[in-house]
Amino acid sequence: MALFTPSFSCRIPTSTSPQRHRFLLSHRTFAPRATLAVETPSSSTADHGGAPKLLLEVKDLTAIIAESKQPILKGVNLTVHEGEVHAVMGKNGSGKSTFAKVLVGHPDYEITGGSVTYKGQDLLEMEPEERAVAGLFMSFQSPVEIPGVSNIDFLNMAYNAQRRKLGLPELGPIEFYGYVAPKLEIVNMKVDFLNRNVNEGFSGGEKKRNEILQLAVLGAELAILDEIDSGLDVDALRDVAKAVNGLLTPKNSENGRIVKTGDISIAEILEKEGYKAISGI
């Protein structure tokens, strides 16, 4: 799994050792541009040659808003290997969420140039649902409500769609309940949460927990978490952060385009002085 977190600003202590990156996006160019990368040694994600396996590669990606034709992404380059964690940071309007939505195939945006390769395949040639069953997951800033559809039915259908793609037998309601119920502990939710309609009447914290529950159930290989800390109180933030950290494995990651790279000290400067402390932002 890989994690990509636009505007993700909370710190998550981790006992695992995937590579971790923090990237900044430039508001001025409306193109995701990484200005900061914080790394730790990669663990057991290397292939036989010793190099980590390539998961996602974005080259010179450009995109516009489909309706207005306004350019948003202006040449994004990004490489994500298994075991990496990239946190994208930047001002409002810098293109963070746009980049995330383009990767999952949101219809509001039109690709005008560049390429995106995911696990060796042309991601841009895949429909959104094909990207999902191939292991791409996105947690939205404001998850939509789906009245009349219970969480357990929604998760069961999504999980079985993934299993069909892999040529595996589908799980019936009883089998799936046995699979999903223990995962509620990851997000500190009660079992009756499964019978509620998807995000209907949910608090901000419940919606974000539900997104992470979906991630835990699907076991995505590339997870894009868009402002996963937005709207959460202290307790909810702690639960979500713990859940995300618990889902990280040596094959997880997060991402953003690089104009400046440094160590953790850059992140500390940003927390104290803001983006004005970094030239070019």
Which range among 84-98, 141-155, 230-244 has the greatest average pLDDT? 141-155
Q: Report, as an integer, the average pLDDT of 83-102.
A: 78
Give the Cα separation of 212 and 3 in Å (integer). 12
Please give the radius of gyration of the chain, using alpha carbons only, rounded to the nearest integer. Answer: 18
Report d(CA 189, CA 213) in Å as an integer. 9
pLDDT in tens, 39-48: 333 333 454 5
Mean pLDDT of 77-94: 76
Domain ranges of the chain: 22-145+222-271
> What is the predicted pLDDT for the residue at 98?
87
Give me the helix-helix angle, 151-165 and 204-218, nearest 10°: 30
Least confident of 99-113, 121-135, 229-243: 229-243
d(CA 41, CA 18): 7
**Do the strands 54-65 and 222-225 form a parallel or antiparallel pair, or are they unpaired?**
unpaired
Q: What is the DSSP string of 146-207?
A: EEEEEHHHHHHHHHHHHHHHTTPPPPPHHHHHHHHGGGGGGGT--GGGGGSEETTT--HHHH
CB atoms within 10 A of CB 114: 18
Better-scored residue on pLDDT, 246 or 49: 246
Query: Could you give the percent of the chain with pLDDT greater than 90?
Result: 29
Supply the pLDDT for residue 29. Answer: 32
Residue 133 tokens, joined: 């069953």
Task: Please report the sign of the dihedral spanned by the C-alpha atoms of residue 177, residue 224, residue 78, residue 133.
Answer: positive
CATH classification of 22-145+222-271 is 3.65.10.10, yes or no? Answer: no
Local confidence band at 265 (pLDDT 50, 70, 90 cut-offs): low
**pLDDT surpassing 50 at residue 181:** yes
